[in-house]
């Protein structure tokens, strides 16, 4: 993608490992803000793994602010970020960065092929939605507000920003990296949300 002339910022979440640590933090009686801080740390470790894997293409360090990510992008490097602050998922970080750099597309890689009318892990009759408005997206949420370790297709706070800024989002299976390139090339993959 970089060779094709695209500018790229990557934001990674903490996934299952972050949720495991959140569970430990809950068991220890830590407040939700502390749980979020721990999950952010896990996401930053994953970001560091990826940025080091990118070698000279990567930002070398994990940006801790949106402005730092934009500065790395200005040097021709690929910034790789994790979480930024409690109360904000990495979905929200991605949208805020996209707004800051005037991105024309946000791609969210998940473990699903897109957005389904209901959770396909729980319902065999679930079907994938090819296109979805932001208003309709909220109808498939199980959670309506942020909480540490929220695990659904996209965070409800992120949708508020997307609505306000009118950004285009494609949700696709990130475990098939070729999907990201296909989406950038305008091919039909995942679920397009606008």
CATH code of residue 135: 3.40.1160.10
Residue 148, pLDDT score: 53
| pTM summary value | 0.84
Assess if residue 183 is contained within a domain. yes
Torsion angle of the four alpha carbons 19, 65, 56, 73, in this order, in degrees rounded to the nearest 10: 130
pLDDT band at 146 (very low <50, low <70, confident <90, very high): very low
> Residue 49 and residue 44: Cα distance in Å, rounded?
9
Q: What is the pLDDT confidence band of residue 165, given thresholds at 50, 70 and 90?
A: confident
Judge whether 140 and 116 are in contact, CB under 8 Å: yes
Beta 191-193 vs 131-132: how paired, if at all? parallel
Identify whether 51 is part of a domain.
yes
Q: Is residue 3 part of a domain?
A: no
Q: Residue 120: inside a domain, yes or no?
A: yes
Q: Are 171 and 190 in contact (CB under 8 A)?
A: yes
User: Does residue 52 lie within any of the structural domains?
Assistant: yes
Give the chain's domain count: 1
Residue 1 inside a domain? The answer is no
Q: Rounded mean pLDDT of the chain? A: 88
- The Cα 193–Cα 136 span in angstroms is 9
Show the domain range for 186.
10-193
Mean pLDDT throughout 71-87? Answer: 94
Cα–Cα distance for residue pair 138/193, rounded to 1 Å: 11
| Residue 4 maps to a domain | no
How much of the chain exceeds pLDDT 90, in percent? 59
Q: What would the two tokens of residue 126 be?
A: 């679930």
Instruction: Report if residue 2 sits inside a domain.
Output: no
């Amino acid at each position: 993608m970089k060779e094709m002339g695209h500018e790229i910022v990557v934001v990674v979440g903490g996934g299952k490992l972050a949720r495991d640590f959140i569970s430990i933090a809950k068991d220890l009686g830590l407040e939700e803000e502390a749980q979020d801080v721990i999950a952010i740390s896990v996401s930053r470790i994953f970001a560091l793994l990826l940025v080091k894997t990118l070698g000279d293409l990567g930002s070398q360090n994990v940006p801790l602010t949106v402005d730092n990510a934009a500065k790395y992008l200005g040097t021709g490097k690929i910034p790789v970020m994790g979480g930024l602050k409690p109360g904000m998922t990495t979905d929200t970080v991605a949208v805020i960065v996209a707004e800051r750099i005037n991105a024309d597309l946000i791609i969210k890689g998940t473990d699903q092929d897109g957005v389904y009318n209901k959770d396909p892990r729980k319902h065999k009759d679930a079907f994938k939605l090819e296109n979805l408005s932001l208003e309709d997206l909220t109808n498939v949420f199980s959670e309506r507000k942020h909480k540490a370790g929220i695990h659904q297709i996209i965070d409800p706070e992120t949708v508020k920003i997307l609505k306000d800024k009118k950004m285009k989002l494609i949700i696709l299976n990130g475990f098939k990296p070729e999907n990201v390139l296909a989406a950038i090339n305008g091919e039909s993959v995942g679920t397009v949300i606008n």
